[in-house]
Amino acid sequence: MTSFRTRRSTLSDAQHATWNRRWPELGVVARTGHENPERLDTAAWFGREAPLVLEIGCGTGTSTLAMAQAEPDIDVMAVEVYKRGLAQLLAAIDREQVTNIRLIRGDGVDVLEHLITPASLTGVRVFFPDPWPKARHHKRRLLQPATVALIADGLRPGGILHAATDHADYAEQIAEVGDAEPRLRRISATDPLPISVQRPTTKYESKAHTAGSAVTELLWERL
């Protein structure tokens, strides 16, 4: 059961050129089952030891880029299914010469299960995941108990799960699921945190505000 929708992906000539030039260095594809490589050697990939953040569903990478630029001492791995979104982020990384972002194309659950070393992450970010608003589709939502358990596996003690959504019903479900995970403790943005939780306002979020949808921010700490 996938938590994402199928979309067509078309790249401009410039995006193709940047992809061909930078992807071998900055990107990997997450595969399932026996096809998976070994768990990521992030120190070798980034060329340093640094606090590590995993962002699941980075979209076109607006938040990813801004938050990575604001925290150059933190390494960010951005996960996205859609090539076009990754291509836009890759072009921005190349243009801005940002060095602390790496890209993973694939499903976030596969990445958590197969590529992430347990207790290695300082943070996991899940911003505006698809709410699948129809009741019969709720099982497709990303932040289910099993996925939150995988996130808890990946977080080191003191690591942060930061989720944001503009869908009220999904916010309630995320809150319930996160609070039910025994290895996580709900916290607030005023608590001492190892990473920033200040997000830029994206075009998507601006549309949500215009439509009158409140954005809910949810934070947990790994015990």
Count other Cβ atoms within 10 Å, centred on residue 146.
Answer: 11
Percent residues over pLDDT 70 in the chain: 91
Answer for the pair 153, 136: CB distance below 8 angstroms, yes or no: no
DSSP-derived secondary structure letter, 199: P
Check whether 6 has a pLDDT greater than 80.
no
Mean pLDDT in residue range 190-194: 97
Question: Three-state SS for 204?
Answer: helix
Binding residues: 55, 80, 107, 130, 134, 166, 202-205
DSSP-derived secondary structure letter, 120: -
Binding residues for substrate: 134, 166, 202-205
Location of structure tokens 């630029």? 69
Q: What is the pLDDT of residue 210?
A: 75
In the chain, the domains with their CATH numbers are: 13-25+48-222 (3.40.50.150)
Answer for the pair 165, 174: CB distance below 8 angstroms, yes or no: yes
Instruction: Show the tokens assigned to 41.
Output: 């050697």
Which residues are known catalytic residues?
130
Beta pairing class for 216-222 and 155-165: antiparallel
In tens, the pLDDT along 113-171 reads 999 999 999 999 999 999 989 999 899 999 999 999 999 999 999 999 999 999 999 99
Question: Three-state SS for 52?
Answer: strand
Q: What is the pLDDT of residue 8?
A: 54
